[in-house]
Structure 1
């Protein structure tokens, strides 16, 4: 972290040294001295940070380094912002003020220089004290080295995980030949027990039989192809390690190693565990995958890794995520290790509290058991519970931290310092925080926002950031925002390294915002400001703030000093229910790009200077009921991308003014407050503005059009209006139409939006039919209780994620009369099919299953169809494109079935005998099922279907179209006209 900040400080100094206006201030020499000193200490920063022990000199020196770097950045910003004005524009009256400013600047420069020079002086002795980073890394790697041996009696709570891993591996019967190598990664948070699970599988000779060799290789962060190959050779060779040593000259090249491995493993069945894989380079991972594939098809490989991205790159079947244990399981581990028999209620209570501090990580439970030992004293247990032993008990966390890029460490440290444990983080807000604080800088290829996305993805892959648990499958809140939480254990660890980062979280502050370090703050979050007294100078000493969040206050006016925060990039003034206006000089906040005024319900207008905020890209005016019209200054914001007007007051001229904001990509006009007739008239003009916003990617119309739908005389007029609202929005990817209680159908123009990925229809209680929309990947149909017909297309939720689930699970909430499910080849697992639980959908009368012809399947058709058990009251069933040879036996339970259609099922060679029991079956239609037509030629089979009045067998037109229909009166077959 310190390394990144010092680098930024050096870059700031170089820019100032090259500035002619700054040079005239006579500070160039001082700036050069500071630059030289900071460049001198840079090589030591990484070593000091890797020492990771805050009670020692390195930690104190690092805090000083951070402070010096931040102060240098602030000093240069101040210096460049207070450049001397040109002599031609100076007046005599301004000269005394200029002299005062220059003197104050000189003092600031000298104070900063003194701190920087102290760092350089201390760095010499510190360098001698610190071990090299490589030594620390080798020590951790040595501590983590693993083998296949373990004490299974000490493992609790992983039996079901073990069975799932074994079930995922191909059959080990000697007569079963594999067509492809199997590589199954196990991934999860560090310390969660991935190695232990691999050991359990590796040593289970009863469930996994038929292997000629079982090989265990500890890969370690020091990834080495030669070491992996030699380790395998030493374990499978009859002469073991001796052969490797004697043949060392032949083993120097990888080709020699591969040749020897092929000789040893050719035709052999091998179980190989590659434990602790850290390599992230996709090229090297692909080489490893190719090497394993070369060794033969009869190999099952289990890989353990902390990183989901590595698991995706190396796997051949879906990786297995190892989830944390329950608190109860952690307590059972502790009890077993310390031989605690129970019966002591106070100790039991303390023990369970200790178990909750393990956060589901078995390694942490074992560490706590180690320090509790044989003690049975309650006070001792309480004291042990306060010890921060996890930092030393889980070296993998240190390793994860050491392997993070410095910029990523800085970004994650900010999360852990500013957001409390369990806090719900809005993704877009987090990205804007990072950008405003300059924690990330754009590169020549990627923007800062794109780099932030990569950081978030990497933190998710490490399980440090986790998607917040929601009540539905979209992973988003009701306004489309993506939400995260920080894993408690990662939060706990990172808090140790994020001291003195100039960020502060103030929860329910009382009386004042003053703080002794205010002048160095860059990020300030105040939650619950109801008792804060905002004075005229409340922000005068906070001039370096980049992020400011104030929530919940009844003050009517903000102090003018807030306009002195000229470095501010992110500003949130939320739930200020008494606020009437903003300061007139608000336009001085030139660097502001994100402002959130949500919940300022009495805010009557925005100042004219608001239009001077030319860098604004994100404006939130949600629940600003006091605004009588769309603020005119917004029209001047040429970079505006995101506008939230939810719970708005149906502004007059909304269509005309919205149409001018042509740069908008995200618009929320949900839940308008239309209590008066003229407000509903204003709402009518909305479509005139929407159709001009051709760059829109996200549009939230939740409950927006209810007043219009209600007062329209016909459903056709309502659908026409909705169609006009969205027509032409060719860039639209996400559309929210939820809670339209008078919406009966969907306009045809929706099907023309080729980029539309998500559609939210939840709460549309009168919606009757949803047609096929092939581009959709997510459709929310919760609480659509009036739905009669639904055409659903299965899609992969995330194309960039090879092992992303399909969207079929979204049918859990659907209970309509007619359901068509197409593209079933994209269902990823039988578990997805089980989740939609068709058998419980009692409204279902007509059901169609459809696979795309000649497409690649992810789950065998017959196995998938067996999971789709319809409700017994089903009346019509169609199976289209099915490649199985038999239909499932559950057909005999469909006692109400009246019609059965079988289309393009070219391998289906028979119908089940149970059809004889379906006395209600009236119609049987078979089209393009050649094997089934042969089956029907058998007289006995004809008799089995004799009770069905109407039967038709049709061939496709390309093969001399012929329809054979059985005459109901004579019982003879005739060719249809």
Structure 2
């Protein structure tokens, strides 16, 4: 399939146009000439934006247009970086002036002028580069678009689980019946391993869930393990142990895992789903089979889903079940459901078009669901455009490319901001459970959420999530109810189908890097988003992050020691996610990240946070939750005036909040739960008039709250459970959530 990275050019351009507009109309003092230059640049980009739809259409088949879109996108990021840097320098200069008011006026003027000289030089370079790029587009004879074909966000609610279940079983009733019959006939030995195999997106996992929740297995203990492409026998074993014991297991020794499984599996009937198995090494598969056999007098039924027929034949005790593609009629039924076809006034006009589109889904339910939801808001002419799109002609002979073509077509109709939000999800590994509110904060930190006077960024983020759920580009995770053995939707965690993640990484292809990817230094330097999963040593080797990196995430790193200069080169970093690491201490170089908006660093092992963290003036999200050794916050934390979200939950050694805490005027969310040593909640807390969420649960030693709690006019959630003497204060807030 042709590279689709150029399809991100349009949303990045739109984001930069809005950023320029914000700078022109913002609080930054610009010289008249600079304002004039920015206005000209904005007008130039708006002219280019008008032809982007035609450019994306031509880029499907024309390599030159693809390259032009990539150059344009890189230039847009360059402009954005320039404006961010100028704003940071200006703010830094202003703070130096305010802190040293006795300096000579000349010195203050120098501090103010230096960033502007820097901007003038960068502006000249960007104007010249942009002129070359914009002149090139004239050679392609691109036509301005007269109408937009972007989806409109009209329904902000996520699809209900009842309707979702009805959609998912379309065309699979006979499959479930046959599978249940096969399992019943083989119910004789100690262990039954039953693979379901077929192409990706066809519905293997959904069918496994249908069996998993069937009443036939109501007396079984239930375990669901997502295996994925990275086969880790210890992880599989620990997952089984955790679900059966209902306690987190992180055993590292194979013998300890074996002993625990012997005890937990003994004498029980257990239904296990091993979802998305890719491992084809016979020895590894034999080890997995042996792991499942350890329980004495136990009855194990293991359902395995895999795309590979060879794996299904290697890892089985009974004949595997090949899941065939859905019929064209079934795909049409799904499209009708998702597009609200029966309520359309023009349904007779578009019916045949819809049936033709259903054929193009290739029998894949995922493709039918995403296309159906997209078609819901489109006119009959736009349905016809979908049917005739030349995206279907690109490498459609191969199955995976055929499915990706349908997903790519859906992606092309997304609003610009939603394209950015979706593509960013490429930074997460396959099968990862994304925390919904954290994801929204990351989108906001990267400038993907468009601000309005009507909705907050949190509300807009929820809307974006709902849209992606409707398109089946995101899915709710599933929670297991141990009492009923049934899985329910988890509305706080999100997952992404492997094929959808493949599309996200195609879109982000030249901007995303994994630690183990084989890219040249020049390719690494252009990356904006990174996922590192190799932290077996000091991070000295990561001091040369791609200089333009905007989001950095670490995966499964355990206990790591960050080098003092670990972040010295990442001056454009906006999102730093260390949530899966035990950090020995945050390095001083953290204070150099002037653009950082989001810092998630729970479980810091040191008793102090470096004072330089208060230089992060743009930080809006800070999570230090679980840092049990943390004894004090920097006295100057009040300098972080833009901070909106602060999580200090589980900081059990923290004794008091600094007096400057009251300067955090923008704080909306404050979590101090399980800060059991906290004895003093500063009186300045009452100045946090924008606070909506306050959690003081299990702060055993707090005896009183600030005197004027009535100043918390916007407070919607106050949790004082486990606080003994101060619990009665919650009664004075009649409309609070518990």
Normalising by structure 1, we get a TM-score of: 0.45
1:108 — aligned with what? 122
1:620 — aligned with what? 647
2:502 — aligned with what? 492
CA shift, 1:470, in A, is 1.7
Q: Which has the higher helix share?
A: 2
2:11 — aligned with what? 4
Alpha-carbon distance between aligned partners in 2 of 1:647 and 1:606, rounded to the nearest angstrom = 16
Q: State which of 622, 625, 630 in structure 2 corresponds to 1:598.
A: 625
Structure 1: state its 5+ residue gaps: 138-154, 164-188, 204-215, 235-272, 278-303, 314-366, 372-388, 673-679, 709-720, 736-977
CA shift, 1:408, in A, is 0.8
CA gap 1:24/1:201 in 2 versus in 1, 3 angstroms: closer
Q: State which of 535, 542, 545 in structure 1 corresponds to 2:564.
A: 535
CA shift, 1:444, in A, is 3.9
| Match runs of 1:736-747 below 5 Å | none
Q: Does 1:544 align with 2:572?
A: yes
Q: Give the conservation status (yes or no) of the 8 Å contact 2:339–2:376.
A: no
Q: State which of 415, 421, 427 in structure 1 corresponds to 2:430.
A: 421
1:199 — aligned with what? 329
Alpha-carbon distance between aligned partners in 2 of 1:506 and 1:219, rounded to the nearest angstrom = 37
1:58 — aligned with what? 65
Alpha-carbon distance between aligned partners in 1 of 2:575 and 2:82, rounded to the nearest angstrom = 18
Corresponding residue SS for 2:666:
coil
Corresponding residue SS for 2:602:
strand
Alpha-carbon distance between aligned partners in 1 of 2:572 and 2:16, rounded to the nearest angstrom = 15
Alpha-carbon distance between aligned partners in 1 of 2:549 and 2:405, rounded to the nearest angstrom = 33
Alpha-carbon distance between aligned partners in 2 of 1:219 and 1:603, rounded to the nearest angstrom = 50
CA gap 1:308/1:658 in 2 versus in 1, 3 angstroms: farther
> Deviation string for 1:85-115 (max 9, x for gaps)?
8999765667888887565444422332333
Corresponding residue SS for 1:48:
helix
Q: State which of 543, 568, 586 in structure 1 corresponds to 2:596.
A: 568
2:407 — aligned with what? 397
Q: Does 1:513 align with 2:535?
A: no
Q: Give the conservation status (yes or no) of the 8 Å contact 2:371–2:410.
A: no
In angstroms, what is the RMSD of aligned CA positions? 5.1
Alpha-carbon distance between aligned partners in 2 of 1:655 and 1:550, rounded to the nearest angstrom = 29
| Match runs of 1:702-851 below 5 Å | 704=722, 724=728, 726-733=730-737, 735=738
Alpha-carbon distance between aligned partners in 2 of 1:659 and 1:411, rounded to the nearest angstrom = 36
Q: Give the conservation status (yes or no) of the 8 Å contact 1:595–1:618.
A: yes
> Deviation string for 1:939-976 (max 9, x for gaps)?
xxxxxxxxxxxxxxxxxxxxxxxxxxxxxxxxxxxxxx
CA gap 1:222/1:8 in 2 versus in 1, 3 angstroms: farther
CA shift, 1:621, in A, is 0.7
Alpha-carbon distance between aligned partners in 2 of 1:596 and 1:729, rounded to the nearest angstrom = 27
CA gap 1:475/1:547 in 2 versus in 1, 3 angstroms: farther
Count of aligned pairs:
514
Corresponding residue SS for 2:125:
helix
CA gap 1:516/1:533 in 2 versus in 1, 3 angstroms: closer
Alpha-carbon distance between aligned partners in 2 of 1:566 and 1:533, rounded to the nearest angstrom = 19
Corresponding residue SS for 1:643:
strand
Q: State which of 437, 445, 449 in structure 2 corresponds to 1:436.
A: 445
2:693 — aligned with what? 666
Alpha-carbon distance between aligned partners in 2 of 1:690 and 1:390, rounded to the nearest angstrom = 58
1:466 — aligned with what? 475
Corresponding residue SS for 2:444:
helix
Alpha-carbon distance between aligned partners in 1 of 2:111 and 2:496, rounded to the nearest angstrom = 49
Identify the structure with bigger relative contact order (alpha carbons < 8 Å, sequence gap 6+): 2
CA shift, 1:38, in A, is 2.3
Q: Does 1:124 align with 2:138?
A: yes
1:651 — aligned with what? 678
Normalising by structure 2, we get a TM-score of: 0.58
Q: State which of 174, 186, 192 in structure 2 corresponds to 1:159.
A: 174
Corresponding residue SS for 1:548:
strand
CA shift, 1:51, in A, is 5.6
Alpha-carbon distance between aligned partners in 1 of 2:32 and 2:376, rounded to the nearest angstrom = 56
CA shift, 1:496, in A, is 0.8
> Deviation string for 1:810-842 (max 9, x for gaps)?
xxxxxxxxxxxxxxxxxxxxxxxxxxxxxxxxx
Alpha-carbon distance between aligned partners in 2 of 1:79 and 1:201, rounded to the nearest angstrom = 52
Q: State which of 418, 434, 457 in structure 2 corresponds to 1:448.
A: 457
Q: Give the conservation status (yes or no) of the 8 Å contact 1:437–1:546.
A: yes
Alpha-carbon distance between aligned partners in 1 of 2:70 and 2:375, rounded to the nearest angstrom = 36
Q: Give the conservation status (yes or no) of the 8 Å contact 1:569–1:591.
A: yes
**Higher mean displacement: 115-124 or 219-228:** 219-228
Q: Give the conservation status (yes or no) of the 8 Å contact 2:370–2:407.
A: no
CA shift, 1:310, in A, is 9.0
CA shift, 1:577, in A, is 0.6
Q: Give the conservation status (yes or no) of the 8 Å contact 1:6–1:69.
A: yes
CA gap 1:32/1:458 in 2 versus in 1, 3 angstroms: closer
Q: Give the conservation status (yes or no) of the 8 Å contact 1:513–1:532.
A: no
Q: Give the conservation status (yes or no) of the 8 Å contact 2:683–2:706.
A: no
CA gap 1:476/1:201 in 2 versus in 1, 3 angstroms: closer
Alpha-carbon distance between aligned partners in 1 of 2:688 and 2:82, rounded to the nearest angstrom = 38
Corresponding residue SS for 2:632:
coil
CA shift, 1:226, in A, is 7.7
> Deviation string for 1:874-904 (max 9, x for gaps)?
xxxxxxxxxxxxxxxxxxxxxxxxxxxxxxx
Corresponding residue SS for 1:471:
strand
CA shift, 1:442, in A, is 1.6
